[in-house]
Amino acid sequence: MAPTGRPTGNVLIVGAGPTGLLLAGDLAAAGIGCTVLERRAEAPSNLTRAFAVHARTLEVLDARGLAGELIATGRRVGALRLLGSTALDLSRLPGRFPFVLVTPQYETERVLKERALAAGAEIVHGAEVVGLRQDAGGVDVDVRTADGETGTRRASYVVGADGVRSTVRRELGLPFPGQAAVRSVMLADVRLDEEPEDVLTIGAVGDAFAFIAPFGDGWYRVIAWNRHHQAADSEPVDMAELREVVRRALGTDHGIRDPRWTSRFHSDERQVPRYRTGRVFLAGDAAHVHSPAGGQGMNTGIQDAANLGWKLAAELWGWAPSWLLDSYHEERHPVGRQVLRGSGALLRFALAEPRWLRVARGGDAL
């Protein structure tokens, strides 16, 4: 139905990650006034988390005319060699994108941000949301700017796309139940003397796990885990340990050198019980989080946003049936739960210690 008149309200999105940016583009393209409030200053970054963009996400992007541009930034992987002999043939996937696209998360964010701005969304950097209150007619959001000043903005609806430590979720008083998934994972962005044979290299031997993905410009992201050294996130990554763990998991360290950035992280498996509380919604990592195993977090967040955007637009244009906004939780919460389960199973499989190794160490009897 072609919209008539004017929309009855506006939307504030908290967080300019992939989830918030796709949502902003969809709302602006539908003629809804929307502002994204982002705590970070506006600065290009070569840091990234996600590399894998899956087929369904490419379809979502294609529907918005963005898939071709994003695909041009990365490399296609038609088969995934998982942990030695196990392989996943993606070329048989039905659809236009029978592959995983490997491209750094900042490329996905760039494409989504350019589209959101071109469609008329406002993106405010250096704006941290510190509180919110809702009433029957709207939501008041307290915002602190980079120079320390605090003000209040009002919107018809607010979407918390503000990541795993979501302030919006905290302000709603919602729990984030779940459990720790993995700790002391080493990250390093490095150069390699030898290019790996596969685009994505994954290997595990029970007490060591390693993953290597290309940025596409000569730099590589190495992710490694050492069962025998579980350190706090604050402990620096020792490059000698990283090389040794990668050699154990992959048989070679590919000549890792010149680290430009290193870090340790841990991840949890958690999901919020309700994606909607009145006029406030949660999407992406603010609603669900799991380990990077399977590369699903960003993909799931983008698909949350694609589900929510047109529904908010329909409500604000005045043609949504009364149940439409609630269907966001009903449709996306089960998907989030499935993703948590799938990613958790993959992680436990990758990190499982073979029984023969436990026996050899005297920790178990055959």
Ligand X SMILES: Cc1cc2nc3c(=O)[nH]c(=O)nc-3n(C[C@H](O)[C@H](O)[C@H](O)COP(=O)(O)OP(=O)(O)OC[C@H]3O[C@@H](n4cnc5c(N)ncnc54)[C@H](O)[C@@H]3O)c2cc1C
What does the binding site for ligand X look like in residue numbers (CB under 6 A)? 14-20, 37-40, 49-52, 105, 128-129, 161-163, 167, 187, 265, 284-285, 292, 295-299, 301
- Smallest gap, in angstroms, from Cβ of residue 318 to ligand X? 29
Cβ proximity of 12 and 139 under 8 Å? yes
* Closer residue to ligand X, CB minimum distance, 7 or 350: 350
- Smallest gap, in angstroms, from Cβ of residue 244 to ligand X? 20
* Closer residue to ligand X, CB minimum distance, 7 or 242: 242
- Smallest gap, in angstroms, from Cβ of residue 230 to ligand X? 17
Closest by Cα among 18, 15, 87, 84 to 51: 18
| CA–CA dist 219, 210 (Å, integer) | 16
* Closer residue to ligand X, CB minimum distance, 211 or 317: 211
DSSP category for residue 300? H
Query: Parallel, antiparallel, or unpaired for β 256-271 and 276-277?
Result: unpaired
- Smallest gap, in angstroms, from Cβ of residue 197 to ligand X? 20
* Closer residue to ligand X, CB minimum distance, 186 or 317: 186
- Smallest gap, in angstroms, from Cβ of residue 271 to ligand X? 13
- Smallest gap, in angstroms, from Cβ of residue 17 to ligand X? 2
Cβ proximity of 158 and 141 under 8 Å? yes
* Closer residue to ligand X, CB minimum distance, 52 or 70: 52
Cβ proximity of 140 and 153 under 8 Å? yes
* Closer residue to ligand X, CB minimum distance, 108 or 156: 108
- Smallest gap, in angstroms, from Cβ of residue 233 to ligand X? 11
CA dihedral 270, 271, 277, 279 (to 10 degrees): 90
* Closer residue to ligand X, CB minimum distance, 295 or 309: 295
* Closer residue to ligand X, CB minimum distance, 7 or 304: 304
Cβ proximity of 187 and 263 under 8 Å? yes
* Closer residue to ligand X, CB minimum distance, 203 or 295: 295
- Smallest gap, in angstroms, from Cβ of residue 78 to ligand X? 17
Q: Residues near 3 by Cβ (< 8 Å), separated by ≥ 6?
A: 31, 317, 319
| CA–CA dist 172, 169 (Å, integer) | 5
Buried b (16+ CB within 10 A) or exposed e, 130-167: eebebeeebbebbbbeeeeeeeebebbbbbbbbbbebb
| CA–CA dist 93, 270 (Å, integer) | 29
The kind and range of the H/E element at 303 are: helix 297-317
- Smallest gap, in angstroms, from Cβ of residue 186 to ligand X? 10
- Please give the C-alpha separations between residue 46 and each of 49, 104, 215, 217, 228, in angstroms, as whole numbers: 10, 9, 9, 11, 31
